[in-house]
Chain A
Amino acid sequence: DPGSTVTPTWSRSRGRDAAAFRESLRRHRFLNSSPWENTTAFYGVNQFSYLFPEEFKAIYLRSKPAMFPRQPTEMYKPIPNVP
Chain B
Amino acid sequence: LPLRFDWRDKHVVTQVRSQQMCGGCWAFSVVGAVESAHAIQGEPLEVLSVQQVLDCSYKDDGCGGGSPLNALRWLNKTQVKLVEDSEYPFKAQNGLCRYFSSSQSGVSVKDYTSHDFSEQEDEMARALLTFGPLVVVVDAVSWQDYLGGIIQHHCSSGEANHAVLVTGFDKTGRIPYWIVRNSWGRSWGVDGYAHVKMGSNICGIADSVSAVSV
Contacts and interface: CB of A to CB of B under 8 A. Distances in A.
B57 to A, nearest CB: 12
Contacts of B123: 71
A71 B115 contact: yes
A68 B161 contact: no
Contacts of B23: 59-63
Interface string B191-209: 0000100000000100111
Contacts of B114: 66, 68-69
A62 B115 contact: no
A16 interface: no
A42 B144 contact: no
A42 to B, nearest CB: 5
Interface string B143-164: 0111111111110000011110
Given A60-B25, A63-B26, A28 B162 contact: no
The dominant DSSP class at the B interface is mixed
Given A46-B147, A63-B67, A66-B114, A34 B25 contact: no
Nearest to A9: B21
Given A43-B142, A59-B21, A61-B140, A68 B150 contact: no
B160 A71 contact: no
B116 interface: yes
Nearest to A24: B145
B161 A57 contact: yes
A67 B69 CA distance: 10
A81 interface: no
Contacts of A66: 67-69, 114, 137, 208
A39 interface: yes
B149 A51 contact: no
B19 A60 contact: yes
Q: Name the interface size band of chain B.
A: 35 or more
Interface string A19-57: 000001001100100101001111110111101010011
B213 to A, nearest CB: 17
B140 A39 contact: no
Interface in B177-194: 184-185, 187-188
Interface of A: 9-10, 24, 27-28, 31, 34, 36, 39-44, 46-49, 51, 53, 56-57, 59-71, 73
Interface of B: 19, 21, 23-26, 29, 63-69, 114-118, 120, 123-124, 127, 137, 140-142, 144-154, 160-163, 173-175, 184-185, 187-188, 195, 204, 207-210
11 contacts: A24-B144, A39-B150, A41-B148, A46-B146, A48-B145, A61-B141, A62-B64, A63-B161, A65-B207, A69-B115, A69-B116
Given A39-B149, A42-B147, A63-B162, 11 more contacts: A24-B144, A31-B145, A34-B153, A44-B147, A56-B141, A57-B161, A60-B140, A64-B26, A64-B65, A65-B160, A65-B207
